[in-house]
Each structure stands twice: as structure tokens, then as C-alpha cells.
Amino acid sequence: MTGARAGRSWSADLELLVGAAQAAGARAMEFFGNSPEVWWKNEGRSPVSAADFAANDILKKELLSARPNYGWLSEETDDDAARLDCETVFVIDPIDGTRAFIAGLDVWCVSAAVVHRGRPVAGVLVAPALGEVFSAIADGPALKNGAPLQIAPAEEGRATRVAAAQDMLSNMDLSGLGEVERIAHVPSLAYRLAMVADGRIDATLVKRNSHDWDLAAADLILSRAGGGLATLEGAALFYNRPEVSHGILCAAGLERLSRFVRASHTLSGH
């Protein structure tokens, strides 16, 4: 069981996450398409809406009331260094894809994970505008709306579908990947990783400065579906560190991941 104490099941934590994320998603839907109030953070580079805060409030109340000994890391809550002393932590993005949400696009989701000793052990992505729920625990299958997900083997003769910014793709060494088909921008990073897990995308690149809350739940779902999320050195990610942002990352099914990492080595200075 990856990152989990021997003999411990995380199914109760997953049930808790799913219920809280669905409640947060339902609350966010009350704002969706209704021009919620928007503020700008990070020197005006990143929007946050009233829906983000409302969803965050529900998640924090429901999750910490049930697991008061867990730490807390959320995009929309001031960081508390006390989380670093916690063996187990909730890692939350109340709305991943806020720009899409504000624009009335349906590709956004609530992302919620339990991270234990640096690795996700339970995770859920709830995409209420799409009617989709992705979930996984460390010793179980990845599920989409209750049905198991398993990344299929590569099909001979079919182009590799890659979601990546054009400038990054242009700087990759694609010689080992065969024909590549670029997929149009997916505004939610967590949902994009879920699309790799359910086979709509074969691989994706993640620009530097993604954060724990963007990645933790989707990382687990992808790995339990037979895929992986890795650094340019091919290493797995660890969460709940003092620094919660990450460098350039690669995601793909395990059959493709090592080749995709090798193809991406030219991006180290990108």
C-alpha cells in the first residue's frame, strides 16, 4: 500500500472525502453561471471567486470535524506550518479550474485528498457540472462514477494524444514517441490528469509551479488506473513539504511514462 501504514484501510477516509467534496460541489453549483464575485491574488495573476471560498468552508468544516487530528492544506486557506508536524493531512482545492468556472465552462472540479507520510492515500475529484466523480484509495482501484478505470495499452498505429502547451511540445525530443497529436487546452489541471486516467488523453505535461492541491488527488487516481505522475527525473512526487509548488511534470500510462519522461528532458531549463 503506497505510503500507508501496513494493515490500515483508507476507505472510511475516502467515503468522508467523497461526501464532503460532493457537498462542496453542490454549493459551488449555486454560483456557477451566476457571475460570482471575483478577487485577484498572487499580484493579480490568479482569480478566486465567492464559490471557491464557500466550497472551501464546507470542506474544512466537514473534514476537520471528522478528523481533527489531520493537518490542513488548501489553496484558499492561509497556510499553517503546523501541518508539517502531522503524519496525515487533507490537501484541498475547492475549485480546480477557477478561470473556467468564472467563464461558465464546465471543466472544473473539487479536488480533495488525504496525504499520509507524503503520499496520497485517498482522493476524489468531483466535477458537478459534468456529473462525474473520480476516486481512489491506495490499495484499491481507481473509479469513475463507480466503474473501474484501467489505462489501456498503446494502440499500434495511433498517434499519441498529448495535452501540452505548444511551446513546451515544440521543445521536446519527440523522436521516441512516434506520431503526436496535440490536445486542446484543458482548463483544470486535476481534471486533465483524470483524463489520462480514463484514456481520453495519453500523456500530459504540467508546467512548473503547480501545487500540492492541484495534484494530490489526481496523482493517486492516475496511479491506481495504471499511470504515473513524475518529475523530469522520473521521480514520484511527495506532498506536505514546506514548499508546496513543483517543477515541470510528466503524466502518462506506465507503458508510456518512461519514454515521455525521456522525451521531456530537453525542458529542464524551460
The pLDDT averaged over each successive group of 10 residues in the chain (270 residues) is 56 98 98 95 83 98 98 96 97 98 97 98 98 97 97 87 92 85 94 97 95 98 98 96 96 93 80
Which amino acid is residue 46, in one-letter code? Answer: S
Which amino acid is residue 93, in one-letter code? Answer: D
Nearest by Cα to 73 from 191, 188, 213: 213
Q: State the pLDDT at residue 155.
A: 83
Residue 82: strand, helix, or coil:
helix
Q: For the chain, which residues make up each domain, given as ranges?
A: 11-149, 160-267
Q: Which CATH number fits domain 160-267: 3.40.190.80, 3.40.50.10490, 3.40.50.740, 3.40.50.300?
A: 3.40.190.80
On whether the 11-149 domain is CATH 3.30.540.10, my answer is yes
Taking CA atoms, 88 is separated from 37, 91, 110, 222, 246, in Å, by 33, 10, 20, 21, 20
pLDDT tens, residue by residue, 208-232: 999 999 999 999 999 999 999 999 9
What's the pTM value of the predicted model, to 2 decimals?
0.94
Residue 23: strand, helix, or coil:
helix
Number of H helices, E strands in the chain: 7, 16
Total count of residues recorded for the chain:
270
The CA distance from 123 to 115, in Å, is 9
